[in-house]
Amino acid sequence: MMIDPKLYQFATVRQLEVLEAIDQHGTQRKAAKALGCNKNSVNGVVNAVRHKAALAGYSPDHDLIRPIAPGQMLRGASTLYRRGEPEPVLQWIKSKTDDAAREKIIRDIIDGLMDDVPRTEPALFDGPTESSLCNVYTLTDSHVGALCWHREGGEDWDLKIAETTLIGCFERMIHASPLADMCVVAQLGDFLHQDSMLPVTPASNHILDADGRFSKVVQIAVRVLRAVVNLALAKHRKVVVLMAEGNHDPASSVWLRALFGALYENEPRVEVIDSPLPYYVYQHGLTMIGWHHGHLRKPSELPLLFAAQFPAMWGATTKRYVHCGHRHHVEEKEHSGVHVIQHPTLAARDAYAARGGWIADRTVTAVTYHDRFGRYSTATVCPEMLDNEMISTP
C-alpha cells in the first residue's frame, strides 16, 4: 500500500517513522517486521493519523481536501452531490476551536517573543525574616478590564480603579503580614476580564462589559502584577509567583506564566510555577498549600482530587490547605485532612452579578503558614481602607 504524502504533516515523529516504513516496504506486515512490532500496531498508527487528519479537515476518501486553519478542528461538513455524479457540487466546512492546538500555538508564539523581553536584574536582600513562615497573598477574580457601574452593582470598576485598588490593597496586605522568609503571590485566575480582542467569555461567547481595548487591558494587567511582585521582593527573601488559569482568561494565563518566567529569569529569588495543569501545589515544610481557580471542580471535590493528583506531597505533609476563587465570596470547610478556602474578589459587581442578585463583601486576605503548624495568622484588607489613612502601631 502507498501512504498519501499529505498525511505526513499530521504525524508525530514516531508515526512518521511508521508511515515511511510502509512506503519503503510496501505493506503494513513488512513494515511491522522491519520495525520489530506487530501488524496491529502499524495499522493503529495509520488509522490514528488518518483520524487526526480528518479532524483537521483532510480526508480525500470523503471529499475533504482542504485542511482548516491551525488552532481549529473540524466540527462538521455538508457536501452536495448531483444525482448519479461522483464529484461534489458544493461543500460547507464548519470548524471550531481546538483548545489543545490553540494552547500550543500560543506557547510557540510566546517562546518566539521571550528573547526580546527585558529581564529584571537581581536585587540584594538583607531584611530580617522568620524562616519558618510563608505568607500567601491571594488575588483572585480581579477582572482587570471589566466595566462596572455603581448604579447597578453599588460600586464603579474600570481600568484605573482596578490598578489603584489592586496595588493599594496588596501593599496593605504585605504591611499587615509577618516578616516571613518567603511568600507566594497567588494570582488565582480571572485576573483579566476578557481573553481576546473581543469582549466575550472564551467558552460561551457571552458578551462582557469591558473598559478599553484589549492591548490597554494587557498593559495595565502586566503593570499591576509587576508592581505586586516587586513589593513582595522588597519584603521577602524568596517569592513564588502563581499565574493560575481562570475561566475568563485560560489563554492569557499561559502567556502570563511565560512572561513572568522570562521577566524574572535572572532573579534567583523568584520562582514562577509553570504548570499547564490548572491544579497547583507548593510544599512548605510539613504544610501543603494548593490552588485551583474553581471553574473545573467544586470545592467539595478538591480534597480527593489533590490527594490523588499529588500523593507524594500529600503523604509528606500533616497540614493541608487548598485555595480557590471563582464564586466571588468567602467560604471555608474542613474536610478529612484538608481545609478548602474560597476567596472573594476585590472587583465591583458587574451588571450580570447585580441582576443575578449575587452580593458579597469585597476583601482580600493574606494567610501566613508555619512550616510545622499550618495556618499561623491572617490579614484581611478591603477597598474602603484605601480611602482612609491607616495608622500603624509598633
Query: Which of 15-29, 48-62, 124-138, 356-370 has the least mean pLDDT?
Result: 48-62
pLDDT (tens digit per residue) in 178-209: 999 999 999 999 999 999 888 999 988 899 99
Q: Which of 164, 142, 135, 120 is CA-nearest to residue 261?
A: 120
The Cα–Cα gap between 382 and 97 comes to 39
List pLDDT tens digits, range 306-346: 999 999 999 999 999 999 999 999 999 999 999 999 999 99
Mean pLDDT calculated for residue range 32-52: 89
- Cβ atoms of 147 and 348 within 8 Å: the answer is no
pLDDT at 111 over 70: no
Q: What's the pTM? A: 0.74
What confidence tier does 106 reach under pLDDT thresholds 50, 70, 90?
A: low
Query: Domain 128-387, what fold?
Result: Purple Acid Phosphatase; chain A, domain 2 (3.60.21)
Determine the pLDDT at residue 205.
Answer: 87
Does position 112 have pLDDT exceeding 70, yes or no?
Answer: no
Percent share of the chain, pLDDT over 70: 91
Distances 170 to 59, 164, 165, 188 between C-alpha atoms, Å: 54, 10, 8, 14
Confidence of residue 304 (pLDDT cuts 50, 70, 90): very high
- Where in the chain is CATH 3.60.21.10? 128-387
Higher pLDDT, 296 or 44: 296
pLDDT at 394: 35
